[in-house]
Structure 1
Amino acid sequence: MSLTQTITWIERNGVGVGIALILATGFGLGFSTDATSNIPQPYNRISSIIGWIYFACWSVSFWPQVFLNWRRQSVVGLSLDFLVYNVLGFACYAIFNIAFFWSEQVQEEYKKFHHGLPNAVQVNDVFFALHAVSVSILTFYQTTIYRRAEGQKISPTCYWSVCIGIGASAVFLALTILTDNEYFTVLNFLYLLSYIKLFVSLVKYIPQVYLNYTRKLTIGWTIWNVLLDFSGGWLSMGQIIMTSYVTNDWSAITGDVVKFGLGFTSVFFDIIFIVQHYILYHENNLSSSENESSPLLNKI
Structure 2
Amino acid sequence: MASWNSIPMEIAYQILGWVAFVSWSFSFYPQVILNFRRKSVVGLNFDFLVLNMTKHSSYLVYNAALFFSPAIQRQYHEKYGSKEMIPVAANDVAFSMHAVLLTAITLFQVLIYDRGNQKVSKTCIAISFAVWISAAVCFFISLPKHSWLWLISVFNTIQVVMTAIKYIPQAVMNFKRKSTVGWSIGNIILDLVGAVLNFFQMGVQSIDQGTWVNFYGNIGKTLLSLEVLFFDLLFIFQHYVLYPTKKEETGRTTIAEGIVPPTKPPNKSSEENV
TM-score normalised by length of structure 2: 0.88
Q: Deviations over 1:233-252 (max 9, x none)?
A: 11101111222123112111
- The residue number in structure 1 matching 2:23 is 57
CA contact (8 A) 2:3 2:85 kept: no
Which residue, 146, 151, 164 being the options, matches 2:113? 146
Q: After TM superposition, give the deviation of residue 141 of structure 1 in Å.
A: 1.2
CA contact (8 A) 1:165 1:196 kept: yes
Q: The residue matched to 2:124 in structure 1 has which SS?
A: helix
CA contact (8 A) 1:40 1:247 kept: no
Which residue, 197, 201, 204 being the options, matches 1:235? 197
Structure number with greater CO (CA < 8 Å, separation at least 6) is: 2
Q: Aligned equivalents of 1:292 and 1:275: distance in 2?
A: 19
Between structures 1 and 2, the one with greater helix share: 1
Q: Deviations over 1:195-252 (max 9, x none)?
A: 0000001111111101111111111000000000010011101111222123112111
TM-score normalised by length of structure 1: 0.81
Runs of 4+ aligned structure 1 residues displaced above 6 Å come to: none
Q: Aligned equivalents of 1:136 and 1:292: distance in 2?
A: 21
Structure 1 or 2, whichever has the larger Rg, is 2
CA contact (8 A) 1:110 1:118 kept: no
- The residue number in structure 1 matching 2:247 is 286
> Could you say what the CA RMSD is over the residues aligned between the two structures, in angstroms?
1.8
Q: The residue matched to 2:211 in structure 1 has which SS?
A: coil
Q: Aligned equivalents of 1:147 and 1:39: distance in 2?
A: 55
Q: Which runs of 5+ in 2 are unaligned?
A: 261-274
- The residue number in structure 2 matching 1:114 is 80
2:200 pairs with 1:211: no
Specify whether residues 47 and 218 from structure 1 end up closer, same or farther in structure 2 by C-alpha distance, changes over 3 A only.
same
Over the matched positions of the two proteins, sequence identity in percent amounts to 35
> Which deviates more from structure 2 when the two are superposed, residues 153-162 or residues 61-70?
153-162
Q: Aligned equivalents of 2:5 and 2:247: distance in 1?
A: 49
Q: Where do 1:30-109 residues align within 5 Å?
A: 37-109=3-75
Q: After TM superposition, give the deviation of residue 118 of structure 1 in Å.
A: 2.7
Number of residue equivalences: 254
Specify whether residues 211 and 120 from structure 1 end up closer, same or farther in structure 2 by C-alpha distance, changes over 3 A only.
same
Q: Aligned equivalents of 1:249 and 1:160: distance in 2?
A: 41
Q: Aligned equivalents of 2:11 and 2:85: distance in 1?
A: 18
Q: After TM superposition, give the deviation of residue 286 of structure 1 in Å.
A: 3.4
Specify whether residues 293 and 159 from structure 1 end up closer, same or farther in structure 2 by C-alpha distance, changes over 3 A only.
closer
Q: After TM superposition, give the deviation of residue 39 of structure 1 in Å.
A: 4.9
